[in-house]
Amino acid sequence: MESTRTSSQSLIRLRRNLWWLRRCAALFGLSAVLCASRGWAQSSPAALATSDFFLVLQAQDGDSWVDLSPADAATYLNQARCQCATPVRVLVQMASVSRSKLSGLTTTGTQARLYVGVDCAGLDSAGTGPQCPNSQMLGEIQGIGALAQGPWAVPTTVDKLFAAVGDCGFTFSTTIWLWLDSTGTGYPDSGVTGTSAPALGIRLDGTAPEAPSGITVEGGDETLMVSWTPRIPVNAARRRLGS
């Protein structure tokens, strides 16, 4: 009799244990799904946006580089510097608060390109570059995760900025575009393409200044003193020329 009661109690305990095991398994499975879902949401990279990047045009000053403001660029990017192929560079920087977007990015297949284009409404997402009447690539890097580590300096020359229209004799506005593929698909990210692509508008002055007027030449002590009146509203310029 006692053994029958013990067997019944054991069977009841076994059933209870099995019920709790099944319930725990169900709860664990749900928790695992929730955890996996939460982990996926946290690891999914945020979409890149135009505000994540800054493009700056720089000119060389001795051993260093200085930023060119739009007003500076309007006078610096002229016909003479185009003909001399004066070095300039474009600095591509990612905002500090945006660098976490690239922290988990694999570098395989991802790339960034820098284009200069005239009469270009934006970077076309249907191709591997901007669909503009006149454009050319200035630089390229493989693995855009590097943009989170520091600035990307793209060296070029003033004549390459003029190249879209053929020579240095034109005055026009152009745009430098940043093309980004963070997925390795060969196409730019949807958030940074078309008119939303990071861009820098610049003006190129290929019009030569007018010849000065009122030129006079005076003899000096083994020198010639040349005076003239420039076309711009400043005091008369004088140049001392060696004989």
**Is the distance from CB of 178 to CB of 54 less than 8 angstroms?**
no
List pLDDT tens digits, range 93-119.
Answer: 999 999 888 876 666 788 898 988 876
List pLDDT tens digits, range 203-231.
Answer: 999 988 777 788 888 888 888 888 888 76
> What integer pLDDT is reported at residue 164 of this predicted model?
76
Same domain, 192 and 96: yes
Same domain, 98 and 217: no
Beta strands 64-67 and 134-142, pairing class: unpaired
Same domain, 150 and 61: yes
Same domain, 36 and 156: no
Same domain, 228 and 119: no
**Is the distance from CB of 118 to CB of 163 less than 8 angstroms?**
no
Same domain, 115 and 2: no
Domain count, the chain: 3
Domain region containing 220: 213-242
Q: Tell me the two tokens of residue 87.
A: 């070095």
Same domain, 89 and 71: yes
Helix (H) or strand (E) holding 9: helix 2-43
